[in-house]
Amino acid sequence: MATAEPVDHRYGPAVALLVIDLQNDFATPGGSLYVGGGEEIVDAVNAQVTAAVAAGSPVFWTQDWHPEVTPHFVTSGGVWPPHCVAGTPGADFHPDARVTGEVIRKGVDGADGYSGFSTRDPGSGVRASTVLGDRLAAAGVHAVVVIGLAGDYCVKETALDGRRLGLDVVVPLGLTRFVNLQPGDDAAAVAELRAAGVRVEPAAGCGRRAPGSPKKTPLPPRRGGAMTVGHRGVRGNAAANPGSAAPRHPRHRVHHSAGTVKRVDRDTTARDPRRPACPSHRWAGPGWPDAVRPIGRETG
């Protein structure tokens, strides 16, 4: 059952694909910081990777990679429930993800921040650059396509940093999902991206209204029958994520490497036939279980 993805002509050696944090704790139901529907974009992300590689685009994957104790976590005075702890299954990439190219790790040694381009010292607030900007400059890249998780945090901050570096930035909405701690966070993120000059592409092919786009006038109900509702709206995570235990997958590979950069190659072609045909229908919503609800203002 192949996923029919059109050839994407946007890629080429001067255009990099950045895949953000497609890791089990975010992208797998039951992950400790699960972004609702995150697993639904994996096939489409893989198709982008394939298209990018075929066109000669550099591909980079970011990987949240925290120590067990970090000010990033609520357990040490931070904001988020523990997630993506280095070497744990939750920190590994989604088992179906075709990870190829360079991996840029974030959060190493307790650093804070969301962007693939920069880190932030949680004590001093001082920001520092990851190697990503240098890599892109060395490769002559002038544009990036940013996909992955989550649209209102790491994807957004990576895209905004890309703009600050003078890059053309594209964020296709069908290739991300939003945390939506508050209803409307997705639309606010899209507005912020657009205001910064990011080209935000609506999810294609399914007619779903993109966050922040004008509402369509609804059709009147047909006489004599209920109107068919084609799309579910905001979906809460609580039902899909009753606990916060880290997922366990037999195909996880635990990466152990020093430093923040690691290159791996993997091409996993297995697909879950239960996935919906269109990955852009479902969004994360409010209603996080208390165990995973951030309890304060983000510091990153």
Quick one: 57 or 70, whose CB is closer to Zn ion?
70
| Beta carbon of residue 290, minimum distance to Zn ion (angstroms, whole number) | 19
The yes or no reply on residue 21 touching Zn ion (CB under 5 A) is no
- The tokens describing 87, both together, are 């070497």
| Beta carbon of residue 64, minimum distance to Zn ion (angstroms, whole number) | 4
Quick one: 64 or 152, whose CB is closer to Zn ion?
64
| Beta carbon of residue 251, minimum distance to Zn ion (angstroms, whole number) | 23
Residues 62-101 that bind Zn ion (CB under 5 A): 64
Residues ≥6 apart with Cβ < 8 Å to 2:
none
Q: Which of 96, 112, 154, 161 is catalytic?
A: 154
Backbone angles phi, psi at 263, to 5 degrees: -110, 130
* CA-based radius of gyration for the chain: 19
Residue 41 identity (one-letter amino acid): I
Quick one: 72 or 208, whose CB is closer to Zn ion?
72
E-only strand ranges, 139-260: 143-149, 168-172, 176-177, 199-201
Q: Which of 21, 96, 112, 186 is catalytic?
A: 21
Give the residue closest to Zn ion by C-beta: 64
Q: Which of 64, 92, 96, 106 is catalytic?
A: 106
Residues 46-65 that bind Zn ion (CB under 5 A): 64
| Beta carbon of residue 91, minimum distance to Zn ion (angstroms, whole number) | 10
Cα(59)–Cα(193) distance, rounded to whole angstroms? 22
| Beta carbon of residue 80, minimum distance to Zn ion (angstroms, whole number) | 6
Active site residue 106: yes
- Which run of H or of E encompasses 105? strand 100-106
Quick one: 40 or 64, whose CB is closer to Zn ion?
64
SS3 content of the chain, % helix, strand, coil (to 5): 20, 20, 60
Backbone angles phi, psi at 282, to 5 degrees: -110, 145
Please identify every residue annotated as catalytic: 21, 106, 154
Residues in touch with Zn ion (CB under 5 A): 64
